[in-house]
Amino acid sequence: MKTIAIIGAMDEEVALIAKSLDDVEHNKTASLDINVGTLATKSGERIRVAATVGGMGLVNAAATTQCLIDGYQPDAVIFSGIAGSLNKSLHINDVVLGGTLRYLDSDMRLIAQWKPEAEEFHSDRHLLDVAGQALDDMGIKHIVGTIASGNYFVDSPQKVAEVAETTHADAVEMEGAAVAHVAGRNDVPALVIRALSDNADTDYEEFKEFDISEYADTAARLAVDIVTRL
């Protein structure tokens, strides 16, 4: 039986994913609450799913990814969350699939000396195609683009301009590159999905008050739909 690991952005999202699974168990590991169950694919096979919330920031994302890989030996890792838009042709609730993922604040000439020996990272081509088909069927506008990840919250025009100039990214967030990096280090295909929540110009205190329940529902449905297509 194949296993897919899913890292969600929020408790609500993972709870909704868990409701779609059969025979769900809760495993407590390394401060994570991991929901493990099975899901029927469109072809009639069953896939094991291990889903959890990863936490904010690069270290939390990396630690969660490695924990899931060590504990469940997944055939793929799917990470979904929200991001600030840097692409003026995109709007709130559009989706950027992480064709390319780059760090904001790391000298990759040094880091790339170790496996996977890359200065940027990429979602798996097959997973990108499957996600694109699922998003088309849901009627959600999306692109395969570049996502920048860093350990600070981009919330001002000056920071937006700096990030856009240095990374040429379509979206900015705090986890995706770390997930793809750790997955690549372990030879596990990965997919990073980012729904756009704002234009990377929202103060963090204001951002904390956003109602993202609708996003959680959409993200959960998308993650489950992708898995059923594998």
**φ, ψ of residue 102 in degrees (nearest 5):** -130, 150
Catalytically active residues are: 13, 198
**Residue 144 · residue 97 · CB < 8 Å:** yes
Answer whether 172's CB lies under 8 Å from 200's CB.
Answer: yes
- Residue 106 is predicted with a pLDDT of 87
Ordered per-residue pLDDT tens for the chain, 230 residues: 999 999 998 888 899 999 999 999 999 999 999 999 999 999 999 999 999 999 999 999 999 999 999 999 999 999 998 888 899 899 888 999 999 999 998 889 989 999 999 999 999 999 999 999 999 999 999 999 999 999 887 777 788 788 878 888 999 999 999 999 999 999 999 999 998 876 655 554 554 555 556 777 888 899 999 999 99
Helix, strand or coil for residue 140? coil
Per-residue model confidence (pLDDT) at position 207: 47
Residue 190 CA to its chain's centroid (Å): 9
Domain-by-domain residue ranges, the chain?
3-228
Contact 229, 133 (CB under 8 A): yes
Residue-level pLDDT at 26: 94
Task: Give the list of residues 6+ apart from residue 1 with CB closer than 8 angstroms, or none.
Answer: 38, 45, 46, 47, 48
Angle made by CA atoms 7, 3, 195, in degrees to the nearest 5: 30
pLDDT of 198: 64
pLDDT score at 162: 82
Which CATH entry fits the domain spanning 3-228: 3.40.50.1580, 3.40.1390.10, 1.10.150.120, 3.40.1390.20? 3.40.50.1580
